[in-house]
Amino acid sequence: MSEFVKTLLRKNSLRKQCQDLSGSEIEKVIADLGDILEERKAEEAAMQAEQQAKVAAIDAIRETMRSAGVDLADLMGMVEAAPKKAAVKAKYQITDAQGETHTWSGRGRTPTAFAEYMAAKGISKDQLPSAE
C-alpha cells in the first residue's frame, strides 16, 4: 500500500496533511472524491450487470442444450484441444567429464554443466558444439 493511500485511510494522518488547506480547498477535495466514488459505483454496477447478463446467457444455453438432449460431455468430445507448444529443439550438446551428454536450447539461464564446460575450455556460447 502506498504512503498516499495510508494517509487517506488514517484520519489523523489526513488531518495533518490538510492543516495547510483552506475550507474551500478541503470542500473541493471532498467533491472530487465524491465524483470518483460515483464513477467507481457506476463501473461496479456495469460490471455486475455484465456478469448477470453472462450468467443469463449461460442459463439460456444450458436450457437449450437440455431441451435438445445434448450433454456437455457430447460437446467436449467434439472440441479440439488447444495445440501444445512444441518443445524448443536443442541447439548445443556437450559430454561432461563423467561421460554424460547434456543438451541445451541456448535460451534462458546457462545450465551448470554448460557453464563449467565453457569455463574449463575457455570458450563462449557461440563456440559450443552443435546438437545437430
pLDDT digits (tens, 9 = 90+) for 35-93: 999 999 999 999 999 999 999 999 999 999 999 998 888 888 777 777 778 888 889 99
Residue 95's H or E segment, with its range, is: strand 92-95
Question: Cell 437440455 belongs to which residue?
Answer: 66
Give me the pLDDT at residue 78, please.
79
Examine the pLDDT at 132 and tell me if it is beyond 80: no
Grid coordinates representing 132 are: 545437430
The owner of cell 507448444 is 85
Please tell me the pTM assigned to this model. Answer: 0.48
Confidence of residue 29 (pLDDT cuts 50, 70, 90): very high
